[in-house]
Amino acid sequence: TRSDDLVARYGGEEFIIGLPSCSWEQAIERAERIRTRLANRPLRVGNELLRVTASLGLSYAPAGRISNLMNLIAAADEALYEAKEAGRNRVAASRRMYGHSQGKTESVDGLAVMTSI
């Protein structure tokens, strides 16, 4: 993650990553990068190598248009469960957009939220 990103534990096995100053396209790319890096780096536990995978749910809202952060998190959480139901180890984007604009200039001040497990 970047130094501006916020990474926090959110519940038991879930984490949340806030991506400020990020376009929708950049958020999807970053989520895929996180997912593939986790999958490609096994963890050594004793004599065993454990593979870690992640399902990620992603939601987005341009800065200044986030009226309720909990709605943004809930949308990411819904997308997470869609990713898990679709076979896990994948990124799913929320269908709920909070003021998303296709304009590249406006979207660079956005906040994307990912939840993963």
Q: Which of 13, 25, 29, 48 is catalytic?
A: 13
Report yes or no: 56 and 92 within 8 Å, Cβ to Cβ.
Answer: yes
93 has which bridge partners? 58
Is 82 tagged catalytic?
no
Q: d(Cα 57, Cα 75) in Å, to the nearest integer?
A: 8
∠ CA 90-41-30, rounded to 5°: 45
Active site residues: 13
